[in-house]
């Protein structure tokens, strides 16, 4: 039961923060990322959406994978949490708002 709970928590965090990171990356047409060529942007968008969708569906189904996958999900969720928070900080800094 603890494995399913940890995996659920990791997938909820991963879904939310990977979606937030996607929005921070692609939400503004003036970002540097839009200077990349189309294949690079497409690969990044598809990869990010696959991570977000898989986290969403894993959370919905209460999937209980092997422990190594739970550890991977926890690691990914922590990385995307950091990425989203860092880009939120950059966004606020660039807009001149206090954090």
Residues 6+ apart with CB under 8 A from 11: 55, 56, 58, 59, 63, 73, 77
Instruction: Write down the pTM of the prediction.
Output: 0.83
Q: What is the mean pLDDT of residues 78-93?
A: 88
Residues 6+ apart with CB under 8 A from 6: 70, 74
Is pLDDT of 53 > 60?
yes
Q: Domain map of the chain by residue range? A: 2-94
| pLDDT attached to residue 64 | 83
Q: What are the C-alpha distances in Å from 43 to residues 14, 34, 35, 53?
A: 19, 13, 14, 15
At 15-28, the pLDDT tens digits run 999 999 898 888 87
pLDDT > 70: percent of the chain? 96
């Amino acid at each position: 039961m603890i494995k399913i709970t940890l995996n659920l928590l990791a997938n909820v965090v991963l879904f939310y923060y990977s979606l937030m990171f996607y929005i921070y990356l692609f939400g503004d047409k003036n970002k540097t990322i839009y200077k990349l060529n189309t294949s690079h942007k497409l690969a990044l968008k598809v990869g990010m959406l696959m991570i977000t969708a898989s986290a969403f569906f894993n959370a919905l189904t209460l999937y209980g994978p092997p422990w190594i996958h739970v550890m991977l999900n926890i690691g990914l969720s922590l990385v995307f949490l950091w990425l989203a928070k860092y880009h939120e900080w950059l966004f606020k800094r660039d807009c001149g708002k206090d954090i």
